């Protein structure tokens, strides 16, 4: 182990030199791909893409949903066979395409795919060691030794889960960190390799992202090339050396990250200037429309707040601090122990409230997980978006499907859903377009209280802008809006007021001039440090939650 580390060190230095004089000169790229393309059932999703990756380089791969990023990644991993005509060289050697199973690992390539690629029923230890069991004692897997090995791996990454825990019982954050750790571990001792991370930060809290970046810097210093697929441009600026932009399956260009401003990056990604991402600030002038009093639920401990008519209220905090449960608790869809909701002149006991009553009362909820809770994936777009207004198409004993289709088409047009096809299978829309369609579904009911959980999760900048615009429109029309989100920058821009949660309680409320991303971050993290001291004093008071 110690021996190989020194080797890596040396290799890292050597790579550093290549990297400095590398670009464009005689240095051989680690990966050199030419003319990669992919056609599905007559539809070209990737076309003539060239890619040169130098050893030790961190490359951002950018583009809107459906631009071909994931397809490109999956060609490199051997999951998709590229169209004929492409070529691939790794370390200067021609590699036969398509890659066969195991090829990419043998070439020193390691992947974290968007869906993480974990199996729910496997244990942490099995997951981390899949295909790399130690066979010292012949065929028998020495589990005791293996568990210890895994424990060490987990400790090195500050992951505190049991090695015999089932993957399915872990939360998204730990699952994502395990997938990332596994990918990095597979490169252990590899001097020149490739680490591909397809939207790894979608599930990670801020400190997890910092940790990931530290790990990326470590492997790239060793000479491993890294491809990072992400929608978050601040991350791109923070970690990447260069960026490659794809649009509609074509290569738009590769640029030094430092040479592009955020606006320029957005322009390259969407193909036109977005003006600005956030709508003009709006002012809530109405009276109190919604009151929550004494809310207690699984992760919420005695919380009260009001939302005014036309107000956009953000609730945030670090992951797991309780803010995520707020929209569901208000909607009657989380087990609530206690709490009152006044809305529309009616006072309701939240512990006996249901989603059915919530919808009937004029509330709408857009959950974060669009395919698990937001939309029925196999059903058509039309069937999804008219679900809450179906009775209006039922007359004379018949569902008027033609009318339903026309109305859906008009709505898809209005909400810029691409493609605007009512009969398309919902799951085949990109994430951003799914979200826009679901906004359209709920707007058809003219809700007076709109609840959103992480409404921009995994959607591209273009869609993001439109989602913000719609939220503001709803507020301008007098609806009260509650957004539970971990995106501090977005909240700072679109909310009138943001409440910060810690351990299930509200600890800060920011508005007006003090509502900035920095202040939000500060409230989330400063209190985190304070908590360290209070916890030492009052011991198990709230830490068990």
Partner 1 sequence: MSVKSAEKETVPPTGGAEPPSGLSSVDWPELASRYGLLVVWVAIIGLFAALLPDTFPTTATLQSILGSQAVLLVLTIGMLYSLRAGEFDLSVAGVMSLSLVLVGYLNVLHGWPIGLTVLVALGVGALVGLINAFLVIVVGVESIIATLGMGTLLVGAGVGINNSVTSGISPTLVDAATTSLFGLPMIFYYAVALTLITWYVFSYTPFGRYLYVIGVNRNVGRLSGLPVNRIRTSALIITGVLSALAGVLLAGQLGSSSPNTAPAYLLPAFAGAFLGSTVISPGRFNAIGSFIAVYFLVTGITGLNLLGYTGWVEQVFYGGSLVVAVAFSVVLGRRRLR
- Chain residues binding partner 1 by CB under 8 A are 40-45, 47, 247-250, 270-272, 274-275, 331, 333, 355-356, 358-360, 365, 367, 372-379, 383-384, 387-388, 390-391, 394, 397-399, 401, 416, 418-419, 425, 427-428, 462, 465-466
Q: How far is the CB of 325 from partner 1 (least distance, A)?
A: 14
Distance of CA 359 to the CA centre of its chain: 27
Q: How far is the CB of 376 from partner 1 (least distance, A)?
A: 4
Tokens of 108: 């020193």
Comparison of 68 and 322: residue with beta carbon closer to partner 1: 68
Comparison of 237 and 274: residue with beta carbon closer to partner 1: 274
Q: Which residues contact 392 (CB under 8 A, 6 or more apart)?
A: none
Comparison of 91 and 424: residue with beta carbon closer to partner 1: 424
CB distance 244 to 253 below 8 Å: yes
Q: How far is the CB of 42 from partner 1 (least distance, A)?
A: 6
* Residue of 273, 278, 286 whose CA lies nearest to 472: 278
Comparison of 465 and 497: residue with beta carbon closer to partner 1: 465
Comparison of 226 and 363: residue with beta carbon closer to partner 1: 363
Q: How far is the CB of 219 from partner 1 (least distance, A)?
A: 33
Q: Which 8-state DSSP code applies to residue 239?
A: H
β-bridge pairing 363-366 and 346-349: unpaired
Q: How far is the CB of 182 from partner 1 (least distance, A)?
A: 26
Which helix (H) or strand (E) covers residue 519, if one does?
helix 517-538
Q: How far is the CB of 359 from partner 1 (least distance, A)?
A: 3
β-bridge pairing 109-112 and 194-198: parallel
Comparison of 215 and 363: residue with beta carbon closer to partner 1: 363
Q: How far is the CB of 444 from partner 1 (least distance, A)?
A: 11
CB distance 270 to 64 below 8 Å: yes
Comparison of 288 and 376: residue with beta carbon closer to partner 1: 376
**How far lies 532's CA from each of 3, 16, 416, 523, in Å?**
39, 39, 47, 14
CB distance 38 to 219 below 8 Å: no
Comparison of 43 and 136: residue with beta carbon closer to partner 1: 43
Q: How far is the CB of 150 from partner 1 (least distance, A)?
A: 32
CB distance 55 to 223 below 8 Å: yes
Three-state SS at 353? coil
β-bridge pairing 449-453 and 480-484: parallel
Tokens of 343: 């809305």
* Residue of 227, 215, 241 whose CA lies nearest to 76: 227
Q: How far is the CB of 67 from partner 1 (least distance, A)?
A: 10
Q: How far is the CB of 452 from partner 1 (least distance, A)?
A: 12
Comparison of 433 and 480: residue with beta carbon closer to partner 1: 433
Q: Give the Cα separation of 143 and 135 in Å (integer).
A: 10
Three-state SS at 48? strand
Tokens of 3: 């021996």
Comparison of 454 and 503: residue with beta carbon closer to partner 1: 454
Burial of residue 195 (CB within 10 Å: 0-12, 13-18, 19+) is: buried
Sheet of 336-343, strands arranged across: 300-308, 288-297, 336-343, 346-349
């Amino acid at each position: 182990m110690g021996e190989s580390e020194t080797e890596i060190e040396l290799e890292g230095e050597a790579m550093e030199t290549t990297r400095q004089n590398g670009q464009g000169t005689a240095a051989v790229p680690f990966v050199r791909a030419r003319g990669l393309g992919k056609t599905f059932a007559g539809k070209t999703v990737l076309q003539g893409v060239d890619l040169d990756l130098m050893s030790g380089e961190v490359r951002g791969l950018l583009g809107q949903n459906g631009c071909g990023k994931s397809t490109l990644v999956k060609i490199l991993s051997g999951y998709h066979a590229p169209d004929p005509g492409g070529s691939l060289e790794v370390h200067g050697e021609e590699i036969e395409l398509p890659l066969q199973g195991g090829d990419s690992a043998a070439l020193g390539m390691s992947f974290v795919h968007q869906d993480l690629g974990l199996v729910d029923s496997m244990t942490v230890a099995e997951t981390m060691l899949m295909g790399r069991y130690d066979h010292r004692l012949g065929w028998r897997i020495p589990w005791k030794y293996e568990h210890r090995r895994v424990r060490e791996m987990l400790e090195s990454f500050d992951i505190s889960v049991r090695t015999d825990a089932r993957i399915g019982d872990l939360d998204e954050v730990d699952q994502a960190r395990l997938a990332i750790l596994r990918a990095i571990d597979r490169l252990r001792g590899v001097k020149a390799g490739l680490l591909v991370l397809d939207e790894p930060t979608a599930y990670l809290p801020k400190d997890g992202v910092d940790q990931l970046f530290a790990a990326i810097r470590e492997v790239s210093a060793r000479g491993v090339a890294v491809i990072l697929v992400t929608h978050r441009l601040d991350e791109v600026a923070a970690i990447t050396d260069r960026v490659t932009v794809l649009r509609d399956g074509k290569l738009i260009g590769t640029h030094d990250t430092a040479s592009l401003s955020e606006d320029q990056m957005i322009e390259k990604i969407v193909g036109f200037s977005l003006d600005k991402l956030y709508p003009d600030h709006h002012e809530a002038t109405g009276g109190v429309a919604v009151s929550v009093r004494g809310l207690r639920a699984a992760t919420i401990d005695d919380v009260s707040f009001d939302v005014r008519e036309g107000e956009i209220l953000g609730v945030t905090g670090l992951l797991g601090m309780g803010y995520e449960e707020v929209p569901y608790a208000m909607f009657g869809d989380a087990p609530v122990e206690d709490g009152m909701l006044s809305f529309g002149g009616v006072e309701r006991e939240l512990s006996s409230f249901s989603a059915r009553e919530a919808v009937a009362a004029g509330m709408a909820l857009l959950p974060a997980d669009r395919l698990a809770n937001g939309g029925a994936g196999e059903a058509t777009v039309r069937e999804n978006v008219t679900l809450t207004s179906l009775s209006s198409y039922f007359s004379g004993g018949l569902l008027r499907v033609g009318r339903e289709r026309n109305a859906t088409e008009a709505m898809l047009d209005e909400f810029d859903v691409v493609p605007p096809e009512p009969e398309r299978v919902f799951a085949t829309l990109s994430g951003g377009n799914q979200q826009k369609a679901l906004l359209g579904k709920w707007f058809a009911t003219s809700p007076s209280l709109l609840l959103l959980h992480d409404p921009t999760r995994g959607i591209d900048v273009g869609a993001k802008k439109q989602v913000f615009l719609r939220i503001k429109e709803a507020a301008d029309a007098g609806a009260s809006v509650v957004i539970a989100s971990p995106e501090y920058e977005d909240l700072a821009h679109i909310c009138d007021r943001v409440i910060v949660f810690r351990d299930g309680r509200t600890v800060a409320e920011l508005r007006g001039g003090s509502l900035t991303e920095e202040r939000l971050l500060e409230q989330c993290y400063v209190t985190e440090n304070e908590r360290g001291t209070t916890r030492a004093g009052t011991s198990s008071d709230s830490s068990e939650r």
